Amino acid sequence: MVDIPVDTRLAARRPTRLEGLRALARSNIYFAIASIVVALFILSATFAPLVSPHPPLDQDMAAFMSPPLTENHMLGTDSFGRDLLARTIYGARYALAIGFGAVLIGALGGLIVGVAAGLSGGVTEWALMRFIDALLALPSLIMAIAFISILGQGVDKVILAVGVALIGPFSRTVRADVLQVKAQAFVEAAGLMGVKRLAIIWRHILPNVIFPLAVQATIRVSYAVLVSSGLSFLGIGVAPPTPDWGLMIAEGRSFVSFAPWIAGVPGTALAILLIALSIVGDGVREHFDPKLRKQG
């Protein structure tokens, strides 16, 4: 009998993170359903001109405040005769753009500040952490309102304001991870061998910090969407007639007693997206966070 050599490296191969997500979807039905819902929102937002039955700003005064399930307007119309289904589909585009854009700004800012604070030490670390404490002293919504009052209204202004408000939480997460990685033996050995500081950061610090930061970012997307919708609801976020869900809910609250669908349609879409994003974020965190896996 001929012995067939076995590639031990293949046998000991660890599952990739993509394979881990697939296993998570197979083992957790709620995560799988939430992922499908988020994917549908992303697809509808991306191909909004193709799937929307009407342009979001077109007015049909003959169908003024029509209830759902009418002939030309499946989800009814608002007080200006605009199709609610079309505005809700386009609203998903703005909600996701603001959510992902704000989280990207917050994560990049938190990465820079967190790495600088974790590696510098001394007075520099103290100053950076006091800056982060100042950002965290106020709730993110209040902080975003303060920035909006300075920057003005608009989608880009909301993305920037919410993103800056998220720098604080991301910075604390990154700094904690940097301090933990910096204390590892392989980082100390690299320093003793004369490896340049930038090379240590690029080869050893960042690879061990980026993925936990990405996991944390998945949780913050739903929060960014909620804060941006809250700003629009208060009238200081996205300016009308932009089909923003928070703005649509604010416009429909005056008619909730006799036309509840005007606020109910965007409110339901917002609730479904927030729940789905929260389930996906919690599932990713529980699956990939080593601390939570050890507790489990």
Q: Which pLDDT value is given to residue 86? A: 94
Query: Do 225 and 99 meet the contact criterion of CB atoms below 8 Å apart?
Result: yes
pLDDT of residue 3: 46
Domain definitions of the chain by residue range: 89-295
Q: What's residue 275's pLDDT?
A: 95
Taking the chain (296 residues) in runs of 10, the rounded mean pLDDT of each run is 43 54 72 93 94 90 86 89 94 93 94 88 86 83 84 88 90 88 75 72 80 86 91 87 92 90 94 94 75 50
Q: Which CATH superfamily is domain 89-295 in?
A: MetI-like (1.10.3720.10)
Q: What is the pLDDT of residue 11?
A: 41
User: Which residues have C-beta within 8 Å of that of residue 95, sequence separation ≥ 6?
Assistant: 45, 225, 228, 229, 244, 245, 270, 273
This prediction has a pTM of 0.83
The pLDDT, as a whole number, for residue 22 is 67
Looking at residue 285, what is its pLDDT?
80
State the pLDDT at residue 34: 92
